[in-house]
Amino acid sequence: MPVGTGLFKVAGVLPSVLHAHYNKRGKAMYLKKLVNQSLVVFTLISPLTSIAIAKTGTVVTKMPLDPAHGLLEAKSQYRIEYTAVDGVRGKGERTDSAAVFIPFGPEPEGGWPVIVWTHGTVGINSDCAPSLNTRTARDSQYLNTWLSLGYAVMAPDYAGLGSDGMHHYLNAQGEGWSVLDGIRAALTEFPLKNELVLVGQSQGAHAAFAAAGYQPTYAPELNIIGTVLTGTPYFSAESDVASLFTKSDDKNQSSGDPKIPYIFYIWQSAADTNPTLKAENYFQNAALAQLDEAKALCITPLTQKVMHNRLNMNNSLTPNIQSLLTNALPSLSYPTLKITHPVFIGIGGDDINVPTAMQQQFAKDVQAAGTHTNIHLYPGLDHSGAVNPSLRDSVPFVLGLKDKS
C-alpha cells in the first residue's frame, strides 16, 4: 500500500486553510495554488520528498460530506479529493473525488472492511457527481445495508465527475484506474482494512469489473477479495447496435427508449477526444438538440426529455452509429474476463436498460474465461428493480468471502 505522508502536513498547509477556501463544488481552488507552490519548494529542497508528494492515490483535500448527500447508517462521512493517473489518456496526473462512509460501532482491530461502491450512470458533467448530490432512495437503501453490516463504504465519483474535464462515459481504463487510486487514497487516510469488495451496478458494474481486471498490474498491493455486479454492460467484437437498440415495431414506434441517453454520452465522450466528429453523421435531426444537452444534463432530466420527445432508434440514430460503437470498442472493453477472485453477477430478467441477453452473455463469457462466478437471475425484475433484491444472495456471498480471507 502506498504510504500517504499527508500532503498538507508535509507542505505546511494548515487544515483551517482547507475550510477557508473551499468553494461550493467542493474544490479548493486557492488550495491548488498553495499546493503548487509547496511542490516547487519541496522539489528544490528534496527531490525524494517531491516524488512522494506527487504519488497517485494521495488525499489532497478532506472535508465533511454535506449531510444532504449522506447516508443514515454512517457515523461519519467525508468527501475527499485525491491524486490519480488520467486513465482516459493513459498518462498524466489529475485530481478525482470520492465519498467515504464510516459505520457506527466500535472500530474492529485492523480497521473496517470496505465495500467499494461504483455508481451507475449519472451523467458526464462534473456537477452530476454522486458526492455532490443526494443519493437515490434505491442506492441509499443498498448502501445503508452494507454499513449496517459493519462495512465502510468508499464511493468514487470517477474522473470528470466532481472534478475537472468531461467524464468519459464507460471508458474502462478511465474508470478502473480512478477507482483504484481512490482506494489507495482512502486506505491511507481512514481506519480501513485492506480487505476490499468491489460492488457496482450498471455503469458501476462496468467500472467495478474494469477495476478488478486492472488491479493485479495497476495496484497489486490492494487486497480485493471479491466483486459484486448487477446490470453489467458488456461490449465485444460481436456487439452491434441492433442488439442494443432493437427497432420499435409499429405498435411502439413512437415510444422513447431509455438507452438513447447512453449513446449520447458515448458520442460526447468520443467527440471530446476527436473534435472532428460530426453529430449529424450519427444522429437524425430529431435527436440533435438533446444530444447537445447531454453535455450538461444529468441522467434523470436527460432521460425525461428523451422519453417526452419519444426518441428511439428509428427517429434518432443513423446507420453510421455502428461505426461509433465499433471505434469506441477499445475504450469500452474490459482488460480481461479472467478475474483472480470470485465474482457475483446479478441479472434482472426484465432489464431493458442493459438488455438481459447482454448480461447473460457477459456471465457466460466470464465463466468460460475461468473466473469463479456466482450467477443469479431475478425473473420479472428490471434494471433498477434487481438491485436491492439481489442483496439476499450477494450478502451471503460477501460474508463467505470474508470468512475465507
Q: Measured at the alpha carbon of residue 118, what is the angle toward residues 154 and 403, in degrees to the nearest 5?
A: 65
* One domain, residues 174 and 90: yes
Beta-bridged to residue 85, according to DSSP, are 93
The dihedrals phi and psi of 187, each to the nearest 5 degrees, come to -65, -30
Mean pLDDT of 84-107: 97
CA distances from 273 to 51, 59, 83, 122, 302 (A): 30, 28, 22, 20, 22
pLDDT of residue 402: 74
**pTM, entire model:** 0.86
What backbone phi and psi angles, to 5 degrees, belong to 183?
-60, -45
CATH number of the structural domain spanning residue 65: 3.40.50.1820
Q: Which one is predicted more confidently, 288 or 12?
A: 288
**Section 48-52 average pLDDT:** 31
Over residues 26-42, mean pLDDT:
36
Give the position of cell 468527501. 79
Flag whether pLDDT at 363 surpasses 60: yes
pLDDT tens for 175-227 read: 999 999 999 999 999 999 999 999 999 999 999 999 999 999 999 999 999 99
Where in the sequence is the domain holding 6, given as residue range(s)? 1-55
What's the confidence (pLDDT) of residue 246? 61
Q: Are residues 145 and 253 in the same domain?
A: no
Residue 375's pLDDT band (cuts 50, 70, 90): very high
β strands within 231-349, DSSP E: 343-348
- Which of 15, 30, 55 is where one domain is finished? 55
Overall domain count for the chain: 3
pLDDT tier at 17, thresholds 50, 70, 90: very low
pLDDT digit string (tens) for 126-135? 999 999 999 9
Q: d(Cα 213, Cα 172) in Å, to the nearest integer?
A: 10
Same domain, 208 and 75: yes
One domain, residues 139 and 267: no
User: Looking at 296, 314, 332, which one is the last position of a domain?
Assistant: 332
The confidence band for 243, taking pLDDT boundaries of 50, 70 and 90, is confident
Q: Quick one: CA dihedral 67, 64, 71, 227, positive or negative?
A: positive
| Final residue before a domain boundary, out of 332, 359, 392 | 332
The partner residues of 64 in beta bridges, in order of sequence, read: 78
**87 and 173, same domain (yes or no):** yes
- Contact (Cβ atoms closer than 8 angstroms) between residue 342 and residue 226: yes
**Does 90 lie in the same domain as 49?**
no
- Relative to beta strand 373-378, strand 343-348 is parallel
- Judge if 151 and 184 occupy the same domain: yes
Please state, rounded to an integer, the average pLDDT across all residues of the chain: 87
Q: What is the pLDDT of residues 146-174, one digit of tens each?
A: 999 999 999 999 999 999 999 999 999 99
Gap between the Cα atoms of 185 and 299, Å rounded: 28
Rounded to an integer, the average pLDDT of 139-145 is: 98
Co-location of 1 and 137 in the same domain: no
Q: What is the mean pLDDT of residues 43-65?
A: 62
